[in-house]
Structure 1
Amino acid sequence: MSPNATAHLPKHTGPPLSGAVDTGRRAAPPGRGADAPSPASGASGAACVWCGSRRLLPVARGTRSVRLTRCTRCAHTFGAPRPATALRPPAPRAVPERRHRERARLLLPYGEPESWLDVGTGEGAFPAVARSCFPYTAFDGLDPDPVQIARARAEGHVEEAHHGTLSSALPALVGRYDVVSLFHQLERAPDPRAELAAAAQALRTGGYLLVEAYDPRSALGTLLGPHWAPFTGQTPAHLVPRPGLLRALRELGFTVLSVRRGPAHLPGDLRTAAARALAHRRGPAALLTRPLTGTAGALDALLAPLARRTRLGTGYRVLARRG
């Protein structure tokens, strides 16, 4: 990281900018790879992917919901994908620009980064906003959706576009970045530990890792159960406990600089849960879907200030420095 006066610096010290989407699948680090099966399927002998304990407790089961499992040792909560015939979940909530700007400003006290990789960038919404805070930073993006990452590159939101998971994109990204951001990516990864290890490799010494994740100990998440937002997709869900994440970061050589809960709460969980619960309704009952989800959305906004100050908050945010 260099001071703000970095306009004269080249934006990358790594390979030259490529205008094409990187669709190559590269080797994953040793251990469970990015494509390794998740033990969240409830198969006999399954173990917690976070601490290895076999003390797993089923939380909720049902033909219309994700099968949830919680580790009684570390509180890591995970779920198996729903069958392909399951109902399509609600569209992901849009993240307000102010939320993206708030995330980016966490790095302001540490100077202007030369290069920043946003993992799970989608169409590049975060880099597009973060550039207002860091105009001389080169933002790259990585996403498993080739269409979205191509659009992010075409719109100029990212300078380099990479397709896949962070662990699958190595070794081309090793040591190239001053900042790597993982916003709600650990819960989507088949192996969250592999993604953290890959992030450490992608960072230069002294680089920063910014993580935002759902909190499995959230009171609101416990209340919503299988209808909570992290469990409405058709991909493995891993809710990593905050103490476990901090311990894993220290084991990887990171120094934890900041841990925040309140600002990481994003309203919308009640509305998502209502839409999920009512999605299968037919006939006259279906007429209630819109007003009920609207009411749930209003409650989300009303409860947001309280959630940010209590255990109702659904997320946490961690900033750490490598080496």
Structure 2
Amino acid sequence: MTAEADAPEMTPELAAQIAAIRAKYAADVANGLDHFFEPPRTTCPWCFSSKLRTHLTSGDQIQHKPGRFTLMACRSCGHIFQNPRLSLEGLEYYYRDFYDGIGGAQVEAGFELGKDGNLARAQHLKQFFPADPPRRWVDVGTGYGHFCRDARELWPDTRFEGLDMGVSVEEGKERGWLDEAHRGFLPELAPGLAGQFDVVSMHHYLEHTRDPRLELDSAAMLLRKGGILMIEVPNPESIFGRVVGRWWFPWLQPQHLNFVPRGNLMQALRHRGLTPVLEVRGESHIPVDFTFLVALPMLWFAPYPGMPWMSEDIDPAQQKRFERVLKIGPKAHAAVQPLEKLRTKLAHVTDRGNTYRVLARKV
């Protein structure tokens, strides 16, 4: 992804859309940002240890909405979490116009690049359903349902359903990518869907949640006996991520609230009656590390001007910086692709990628 790809074209329609919502953004921050955050924690939300350290601080890495965000690490269990954590009001503010609205087209363009990864994920299930396909499969945090659309190529007889809090899941059903749309929060919907699914998938969902342990409880509730839970999350033990700090894309502040180390997740699954049956590390690596190591600083240096959460008066110097980045962005993107390919090869060889994937069976 390049800076050029991240910049929506300023059409008259987009300009009108920005003008219509600018007042709402101004009202949201008129009394400061404190209401976007909960009180800071003094203990780890995973193991409740008080042995904490600051891991990194960052601004909004993509949209550059106002605010500073801190990730803290637990010295006891390794869990990394946002502290202070976004409140529900903060989540609504920082998610607004990211996956939909102004930012929706750019994010969806990124999802369209993920087909190979989606097929690789869906392929894992072949060894666990060798004769009959899974009857019902729900993808949690599905967005529009790109994963379900792609996985259907391998599982044409499976009923694919999506669960998400946003309106995108309903649009995914309208597109025909989802056989059913469940809109809302998983812990609230789980009791009404208990024991109905052969497969529950969560791809880069758990890191967005406020309480990942509660989400695992809910996912286990959805599964039938013998059903498979598939989880993929960023790897907080990534050496690359620790070296480059806030410029590592998977830290993605402020949306990513919790980062669960692999050992913690394995233990949590077993405690919920889920036996890990497959673990994928190097092969689950997503080739974005060097791409965003270049793109994020450029976006920080020259954010897209005129967004509704920014000043309406565009600084000429800012406009020039942005135009300069638009010109050099594609060249910089091309220049780092050999490094991206090398990074991917090393991840596969060493089993040290930027993500890990676990499949577990309910017993």
Q: Which TM bucket (shorter chain)?
A: 0.7 to 0.9
The reply on whether 1:121 has 2:161 as its aligned counterpart is: no
Distance, in Å, in 2 between the alignment partners of 1:72 and 1:262 is 25
Aligned match for 2:282, one of 252, 257, 262: 262
Distance, in Å, in 2 between the alignment partners of 1:217 and 1:43 is 27
Per-residue displacement from partner, 1:180-203 (whole Å, max 9, x unpaired)?
A: 001011100111111110000000
Distance, in Å, in 2 between the alignment partners of 1:189 and 1:53 is 20
Give aligned pairs, total.
281
Contact 1:190 1:236 in 2 (8 A): no
The reply on whether 1:79 has 2:88 as its aligned counterpart is: no
Q: What is the aligned partner in structure 2 of residue 315 from structure 1? A: 355
Q: What is the aligned partner in structure 1 of residue 47 from structure 2? A: 51
Q: What is the aligned partner in structure 2 of residue 279 from structure 1? A: 299
Contact 1:269 1:300 in 2 (8 A): yes
Structure 2: segments with no counterpart, 5+ residues: 1-36, 61-67, 303-316
Aligned-partner residue type, residue 204 of structure 2? H
Contact 1:48 1:56 in 2 (8 A): yes
Aligned-partner residue type, residue 110 of structure 1? F
Q: What is the aligned partner in structure 2 of residue 251 from structure 1? A: 271
Distance, in Å, in 1 between the alignment partners of 2:46 and 2:176 is 37
Contact 2:59 2:253 in 1 (8 A): no
Distance, in Å, in 1 between the alignment partners of 2:155 and 2:300 is 45
The reply on whether 1:215 has 2:235 as its aligned counterpart is: yes
Distance, in Å, in 1 between the alignment partners of 2:163 and 2:150 is 16
Distance, in Å, in 2 between the alignment partners of 1:62 and 1:313 is 23
Distance, in Å, in 1 between the alignment partners of 2:58 and 2:119 is 39
Aligned-partner residue type, residue 163 of structure 2? L
Give me the CA root mean square deviation: 2.6
Q: What is the aligned partner in structure 2 of residue 38 from structure 1? A: none
Q: How does 1:103-118 map to 2 (within 5 A)?
A: 103-111=121-129, 112-118=133-139
Q: What is the aligned partner in structure 1 of residue 163 from structure 2? A: 142
Shift of 1:221: 1.2
Shift of 1:264: 1.1
Aligned match for 1:306, one of 338, 346, 352: 346
Contact 2:232 2:355 in 1 (8 A): yes
Shift of 1:256: 0.9
Aligned match for 2:114, one of 92, 96, 102: 96
Distance, in Å, in 1 between the alignment partners of 2:218 and 2:347 is 32
Per-residue displacement from partner, 1:263-304 (whole Å, max 9, x unpaired)?
A: 110011222233222223254654245133443455323421
Contact 2:198 2:223 in 1 (8 A): yes
Per-residue displacement from partner, 1:214-234 (whole Å, max 9, x unpaired)?
A: 111101111221222233243
**SS state of the match for residue 255, structure 2?**
coil
> CA 1:196/1:309 → structure 2, altered by over 3 Å: closer, same or farther?
same
Q: What is the aligned partner in structure 1 of residue 70 from structure 2? A: 67
Q: What is the aligned partner in structure 2 of residue 185 from structure 1? A: 205
Distance, in Å, in 2 between the alignment partners of 1:117 and 1:43 is 34
Contact 2:94 2:255 in 1 (8 A): no
**SS state of the match for residue 235, structure 1?**
coil
> CA 1:296/1:190 → structure 2, altered by over 3 Å: closer, same or farther?
farther
Distance, in Å, in 1 between the alignment partners of 2:149 and 2:40 is 45
TM-score, with structure 1 as normaliser: 0.79
Aligned-partner residue type, residue 295 of structure 1? A
**SS state of the match for residue 224, structure 2?**
strand
Distance, in Å, in 2 between the alignment partners of 1:133 and 1:195 is 27
TM-score, with structure 2 as normaliser: 0.71
Distance, in Å, in 1 between the alignment partners of 2:115 and 2:300 is 32
Distance, in Å, in 1 between the alignment partners of 2:175 and 2:38 is 42
Aligned-partner residue type, residue 175 of structure 1? G
Contact 1:118 1:180 in 2 (8 A): yes
Q: Which has the larger radius of gyration?
A: 2
Aligned-partner residue type, residue 73 of structure 2? R
> CA 1:78/1:103 → structure 2, altered by over 3 Å: closer, same or farther?
same
Bigger helix fraction: 2
Contact 1:123 1:152 in 2 (8 A): yes
> CA 1:159/1:309 → structure 2, altered by over 3 Å: closer, same or farther?
same
Aligned-partner residue type, residue 70 of structure 1? A
